[in-house]
C-alpha cells in the first residue's frame, strides 16, 4: 500500500532533515518537505522553517537554494517538454476528429435550442478554417473544404451547414 502524503506531513519531513544521519535520507526529506511546502501555497513561514532545518549543512543549504531558485532548463528538458506537449496536442486533435465524425448531424442541425451545445465546436472549426487559409481577416473564410483533409468530407460539409446556420 502506498501512503499519500499531505501538507500536514511537512513538519515530519523537516524533523527528518535534522535527525537522519545519512545525507541521502536528509536530502530526500528536504525534497519531500519542499514539495509539500510548494503544494501548501509556498508560505513565508514554511520557507523560513526549511532554511532553519538546513542551517549549518552546506550541502543541504545548496540543495534548498537550488530547489527555491532553479536555473534555466536544459536544452534536453526543453525538447522533451516540447515533444510531450506536441504529442498531447496531436492526441487531443485525433480525439476531437473522432468525436466530430461520430456525431456529424449534431453540427449540421443548429437552431435556437441547440446552438449553445455546438457553438464551441463550430467556433473551433471556424478558427481552423482561418488557420488553414492563413488569414488575418477578422471575418474568417468560407473555405470549409479545407477541413476535408483532416476531418473528412462529411464533417466539413456539416461544419459549413452549421456555420451558415449560426
pLDDT at 2: 64
Q: Are 156 and 145 in contact (CB under 8 A)?
A: yes
Average pLDDT for runs of 10 along the chain of length 166:
82 95 96 94 94 96 95 92 96 93 86 80 88 74 87 92 82
* Reported pTM: 0.53
Amino acid at each position: 500500500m502506498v501512503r499519500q502524503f499531505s501538507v500536514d506531513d511537512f513538519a515530519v519531513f523537516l524533523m527528518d532533515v535534522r535527525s537522519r544521519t545519512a545525507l541521502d535520507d536528509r536530502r530526500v526529506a528536504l525534497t519531500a518537505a519542499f514539495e509539500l511546502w510548494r503544494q501548501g501555497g509556498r508560505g513565508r513561514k514554511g520557507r523560513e522553517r526549511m532554511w532553519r532545518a538546513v542551517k549549518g549543512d552546506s550541502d543541504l543549504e545548496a540543495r534548498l537554494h537550488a530547489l527555491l531558485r532553479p536555473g534555466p532548463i536544459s536544452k534536453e528538458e526543453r525538447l522533451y517538454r516540447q515533444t510531450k506537449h506536441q504529442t498531447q496536442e496531436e492526441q487531443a486533435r485525433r480525439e476531437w476528429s473522432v468525436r466530430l465524425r461520430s456525431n456529424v448531424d449534431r453540427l449540421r442541425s443548429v437552431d435556437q435550442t441547440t446552438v449553445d451545445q455546438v457553438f464551441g465546436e463550430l467556433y473551433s472549426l471556424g478558427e481552423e478554417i482561418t488557420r488553414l487559409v492563413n488569414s488575418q481577416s477578422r471575418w474568417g473564410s468560407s473555405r470549409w473544404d479545407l477541413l476535408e483533409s483532416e476531418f473528412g468530407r462529411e464533417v466539413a460539409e456539416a461544419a459549413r451547414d452549421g456555420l451558415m446556420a449560426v
